[in-house]
Amino acid sequence: MGVTESPALSSPDDSSTSSDGDEESPRPGPLWRHALWVAGVTVIGVGWAWAGASFRVGPDDYGLPLATEGEVRPYLVVWTVTGLVVATGVRAVAARVPFIGPEVVVLVLTFMGTRHSLGWRPEPPALGAMVAAALTAAAIWGALALRRGLPDYRERVASGG
């Protein structure tokens, strides 16, 4: 290693620590990159749901109802915060163990929660139950990924036992 090289950076021929092109690899990196990912995926999920609740392409008889009349800001805030918490947890797991498609988990949970909330405007207890379900689903997904990522588990699967 030369004087100008950082010990944290890998050489181009060291593919064992590179996670740029590998979908199923841990995602280490600087904190700002993780924070940007968390914010970006959350905003995309909430934004798509809000756009989907605002416009209908097909007939009114099919699909989820459009956003009902009234204030949307409280629902957007609730699902933005929920999305940030879910994305932070999922990204923390993905930084430690190989995890395929962590953004899909966040997008689906955030999109569906926001979309359903804008279409039906649930009361606070029902909204709290929806948030709890999203957080539970993300926690289960993360726990399964962590379990699969443990070296002992991977050795047992590889040996067929």
The 10s digit of each residue's pLDDT in 17-76 is 444 445 555 666 788 999 999 999 999 999 999 998 988 777 777 777 788 888 999 999
Question: What is d(CA 103, CA 83) in angstroms, rounded to the nearest whole number?
Answer: 11
**pLDDT tens-digit series, residues 91-107:** 999 888 877 889 999 99
Residue 66 sits at the vertex; the CA angle it makes with 138 and 133, to the nearest 5 degrees, is 20
